[in-house]
Structure 1
Amino acid sequence: MPETVFEVDVDAAPEEQPDPIVNRWHPDVPPVERVSPGEKFRVECLDWTGNQVNNDDSASDIRDMRLDPNHHLSGPIAVDGAKPGDLLVVDILDLGPFPDNEWGFTGIFELDNGGGFLTDHFPNARKAIWDFDGVYTSSRHVPDVRFAGLSHPGILGTAPSHDLLERWNERERDLIERGPDDETAVNHETHDDDPPLALPPEPNEVLLGDMDDEAVEEAAEKAARTIPPRENAGNCDIKNLSRGSRVYLPVFVEGANLVTGDLHFSQGDGEITFCGAIEMAGYVDLKVDVIENGMERFGVDHAIFKPGNVEPQFSEYVVFEGYSVDEDGTQHYKNANVGMRRACLDAIDYLTNFGYTPEQAYIILSTVPVESRIAGIVDLPNTCVTVSVPEAVFDFDVDPDSLAEISSEGRGRAARPS
């Protein structure tokens, strides 16, 4: 087994971990450990909330969650010889839950505390608990669904330089001040309870590893939230970034300062409920190498990766299409966000034919390895987005041809999530 270079305790608070947690991006966070190119090592991770969610049937922990300290991440880990302009090569060798902690959770967040992709349709908190059985998972809150997860780290990234950090903050502040562009917004009207357009630095509940208290107070004013993906990769939430994948990460500081966490047992493309994967605590085994001057040699400014070959095998899907026309009939210009919403809403409505509540269907789309694609982007004014739901994850037939055989009462076996 690779040497563990970062340890966590799932029974301890984030501030009381064996190794110090980080929850912001900042170039001055000191590395907790150093590794050499070619070295294999293990990183243990809390779930992204830092142990705020319980394995029970109440969604009060989702409703009342403290969001300012999220994500709770492991690192930084410095790589000997890595310098700005290089590419850090990261092989994901293995990952999974801790043997004595084989469960995870999915949450739908309150409209006024986190929200989600379809928060205007699902404004209230819900939670589903998933039990793991090897590579398979099932939930007492979403009956008749069982599937092999495509486990992956939601977050894998390198530290930004001071210059890059300032660019992030400037452009995100500008977006907040500018407001939504009519053709990129889902609806033309904005409301006071709409989710923010970006998350500027939040100095509340900042964790910056082993940085001393005085330095943390100063750095917290500029340290970037870990919520969005950026040039350093970070919170990409790519479900195919699983075992066997190789990732090429841009390096912006000496040592690269690799950070990871937010482990997912499984996720559908888009992670649409926000806490939309099957979130878990666990470990990830990595191996690293360095490509000197790789950013210029490869001609890249962002991460690239090669997927592993351990994906679940599905052959039959029910595919839903969405276009750039929102629910009230407003036509948008090539808006893939609107197209994705419409495809997801149709898929949710479809699954309710089989006895699922809309909330359960929403959770299914967010956790099952659903494939979402931009199928067509050249034909104005509509972008076509598809959401493909694998039929084999259900214990019954969800093929459209089967609907004629289902009674008007539906399946009636699906219990409402907490």
Structure 2
Amino acid sequence: MPELVFPLDSAKRFTEQRLMGHNRWHPDIPAAVTVKPGAEFRVHVRDWLDGAIHNDDSAEDVLNAPLDAAHRLSGPFAVEGAQPGDLLIVDILDLGPLPQEDSGPLAGQGWGYTGVFATDNGGGFLTEHFPDAYKAIWDFSGQTTTSRHVPGVKFTGITHPGLMGTAPSAALLRKWNAREEALIATDPQRVPPLALPPEPRDAILGTLSGAEFDRVAAEAARTVPPRENGGNQDIKNLTRGSRVFYPVFVDGAHLSVGDLHFSQGDGEITFCGAIEMGGFIDLRVDLIKNGMELYGVAEHAIFLPGNTGPNYSEYLAFSGTSVTLGGEQRYLDSQLAFERACLHAIDYLTKFGYTPEQAYLLLGAAPIEGRFSGVVDIPNSCATVYIPTAIFDFPIVPTAAGPARIDPGAGAPRAGR
């Protein structure tokens, strides 16, 4: 096992640990650990909400989830010799749920969760259709998972970090804040908001304190969106065996990682759409000097996806085009086309007995494939959603006999009832 350089005690909250992580992006957050190029090391990671979501049959915790405190990130990890303009090579050697215990109160201890967030607390991709808070608990058995809240399915997870990236430079941070503030200004009262500005409340900034903490907290960027440094990209194929090339913007690179997922469908469409968990991740780091200029990788990460399973071979695919539910034609709107494909898949799954909310949670958690399939044929974009047929305990392909009806159980818990 690689050396454990960032341990977390499961009996303590994230802010009570011996090594302090962070939940904002800023170049002045001190490194928690320094490693050498070529080093292999293990990192413990807490689930993104630090135990705020519980293994029960209520969604009140999702309704009241403390989003100002997201995400809990392990790090930063300074890499000796890394300088602005370099590319940081990060190999994901292994990762998984918490190794310390089989079951316990924290996500990753034998279980994980998927949530539909209420519109006024983050929302999700389909928040106009699903405005309330729902939750599904998933139980782990080795590499597979099942849920009492979405019965009739069992699948192997593509375990991956939802969030990993390097620290921004001061100039890049100012660029982020300026462009996101300009976006917010176009509709400042929108619910959910168009973007999240810096928020000192609930900021976690490593070992910073006093006036320096206050300054950084007022400037630091939230970790919710992906940006030039990588960040919260939620790429399900960024699994073990992957190699990622991150731009370096500050001395030491200051790599951070968090938001581990046991499984996720493309798009993580419910916002808390993956199966969230805490756990461990083993990494190896190295450098390509002046790599940003050599390869033109200046404002994005590139990666070689891992080749680990699951390897599903049969899918039932649903398509959507850029026409609203009200019949309005939009011009090559691929986002809308993907939304319509998801809604078509949800509507189809209800014919087998699932509630729309159960189907929505399933699309967020299971390893579905989402694709932009046509973006040139005016006026309609086409997007597709591929669902592996093998994850179901019953046949879902259309036949003359009609859909088999399953017992949906008690359904997914909804806040307020």
Settle same-fold status: TM greater than 0.5. Answer: yes
Matched residue of 2:151: which SS? strand
Aligned equivalents of 1:115, 1:317: Cα separation in 2: 28
1:348-387 aligned within 5 A: 348-387=346-385
State the partner residue of 1:318. 316
Q: Which amino acid aligns with 1:353?
A: K
Alpha-carbon offset, residue 382 of structure 1: 1.3
1:337-348 aligned within 5 A: 337-348=335-346
Aligned equivalents of 1:414, 1:373: Cα separation in 2: 31
1:125-144 aligned within 5 A: 125-144=133-152
Unaligned runs of at least 5 residues, structure 2: 102-108
Aligned equivalents of 2:303, 2:295: Cα separation in 1: 12
Aligned equivalents of 1:331, 1:400: Cα separation in 2: 29
State the partner residue of 1:211. 208
- Alignment partner of 1:11 is 2:19: no
- Alignment partner of 1:405 is 2:402: yes
> Would the alpha carbon gap of residues 390 and 383 (structure 1) be closer, same or farther in structure 2, given more than 3 Å must change?
same
Aligned residues of 1:6 and 1:75 also touching (Cα < 8 A):
yes
Matched residue of 1:224: which SS? coil
Residue in structure 2 matching 1:415, options 396, 410, 417: 410
Unaligned runs of at least 5 residues, structure 1: 180-190
Matched residue of 1:142: which SS? coil
Aligned residues of 1:110 and 1:123 also touching (Cα < 8 A):
yes
Aligned equivalents of 1:298, 1:243: Cα separation in 2: 24
1:270-301 Cα offsets, whole Å, 9 max, x none, are 00000000000000000000000000001112
1:96-111 aligned within 5 A: 96-99=96-99, 100=101, 101-111=109-119
Q: Which amino acid aligns with 2:345?
A: A
Alpha-carbon offset, residue 412 of structure 1: 2.9
Aligned equivalents of 1:370, 1:214: Cα separation in 2: 47
Alpha-carbon offset, residue 151 of structure 1: 0.4
Aligned equivalents of 2:11, 2:390: Cα separation in 1: 36
Among all aligned residue pairs of Structure 1 and Structure 2, give the percentage whose two residues are the same amino acid.
Answer: 57
Aligned equivalents of 1:10, 1:214: Cα separation in 2: 31
1:208-260 Cα offsets, whole Å, 9 max, x none, are 11112321111111100000000000000000000000000000000000000
- Alignment partner of 1:243 is 2:240: yes
1:165-176 aligned within 5 A: 165-176=173-184
1:53-68 aligned within 5 A: 53-68=53-68
Aligned residues of 2:158 and 2:263 also touching (Cα < 8 A):
yes
1:120-162 Cα offsets, whole Å, 9 max, x none, are 1111111111111111111111111100000000001000000
Aligned equivalents of 1:93, 1:171: Cα separation in 2: 36
Aligned equivalents of 2:241, 2:15: Cα separation in 1: 32
Alpha-carbon offset, residue 7 of structure 1: 1.5
Q: Which amino acid aligns with 2:36?
A: S
Residue in structure 2 matching 1:220, options 201, 206, 217: 217
1:3-402 aligned within 5 A: 3-99=3-99, 100=101, 101-179=109-187, 194-301=191-298, 302-401=300-399
Aligned equivalents of 1:196, 1:405: Cα separation in 2: 43
Q: TM-score, normalised by structure 1?
A: 0.94
Aligned residues of 2:21 and 2:76 also touching (Cα < 8 A):
no
Q: Which amino acid aligns with 1:314?
A: Y
Q: TM-score, normalised by structure 2?
A: 0.95
Matched residue of 1:121: which SS? coil
Aligned residues of 2:5 and 2:42 also touching (Cα < 8 A):
yes
Matched residue of 1:131: which SS? strand
Alpha-carbon offset, residue 373 of structure 1: 0.5
Q: Which amino acid aligns with 1:95?
A: L
Q: Which amino acid aligns with 1:204?
A: R
Q: Which amino acid aligns with 1:271?
A: E
Larger displacement relative to structure 2 (287-296 or 310-319): 310-319
